[in-house]
């Protein structure tokens, strides 16, 4: 930003809320774009199966993202840091939205409802787009194992994309 460039930053935007506000202010002041990226939006399986996922989510189906983390998950050699300054759902919203936008395109997503457990360890967000397609994020921060699963279709799910597998696994 200081050199006049627009910047794409991976989540989290900054180490603190104050630093995040400073970055936003710098972008506004310089007339530059400061964008938050999430790696899941670039997963080849989502794009390769776009037509099949859209088809499976028609006629009462939906696109679901199941996001589970164990409480003491090890990531890159240390325990994964939880963002305690925001709720679990607020923390995961950018990831879910980036994946769901692959399928909603220009039909803008909107949040329909959100529910959080009393202890804040699990919750759901329901979305829809202007075309009426439904999306659902199901999150659990106290799960037995790490899960990143995209499903499309009716409740029994016609398509599954498992992002935690060594190689992304697609089951139809």
Give the pLDDT confidence score for residue 84 in this predicted structure.
72
Residue 171 has pLDDT above 60, yes or no: no
* 132 contacts: CB under 8 Å, gap ≥ 6: none
pLDDT tens digits, one per residue of 139-162: 999 999 988 888 888 766 678 888
What is 124-151 written as a DSSP string?
A: EEEEEETT--EEEEEEETT-SS-EEEEE
- On the question of a cis peptide bond just before residue 12, with omega within 30 degrees of 0, the verdict is yes
Q: At residue 115, does pLDDT exceed 90?
A: yes
Helix (H, G, I), strand (E, B), or coil: what is residue 167? coil
Tokens of 35: 């964008």
**What is the separation of C-alpha 14 from the centre of its chain, rounded to a whole number of angstroms?**
18
Q: Is the pLDDT of residue 100 over 80?
A: yes
CA-to-CA distance for 86 and 78, rounded, in angstroms? 21
Query: Who has greater pLDDT, 122 or 45?
Result: 122
- Check whether 120 has a pLDDT greater than 70: yes
Dump pLDDT digits (tens) for 1-12.
888 898 888 767
């Amino acid at each position: 930003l200081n050199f006049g460039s627009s910047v794409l930053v991976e989540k989290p935007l900054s180490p603190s809320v104050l630093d995040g506000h400073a970055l936003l202010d710098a972008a506004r002041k310089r007339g530059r774009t400061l964008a938050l990226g999430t790696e899941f939006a670039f997963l080849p399986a989502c794009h390769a199966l776009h037509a099949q996922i859209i088809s499976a989510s028609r006629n009462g189906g939906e696109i679901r993202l199941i996001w589970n983390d164990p409480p003491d998950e090890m990531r890159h050699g240390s325990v994964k840091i939880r963002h305690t300054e925001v709720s679990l759902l607020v923390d995961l919203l950018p990831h879910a939205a980036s994946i769901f936008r692959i399928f909603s395109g220009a039909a803008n997503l909107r949040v329909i409802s959100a529910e959080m457990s009393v202890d804040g360890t699990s919750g759901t967000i329901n979305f829809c787009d202007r075309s009426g397609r439904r999306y659902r994020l199901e999150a659990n921060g106290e799960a037995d194992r790490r899960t990143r699963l995209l499903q499309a279709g009716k409740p029994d799910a016609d398509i599954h994309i498992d992002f935690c597998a060594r190689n992304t696994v697609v089951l139809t």
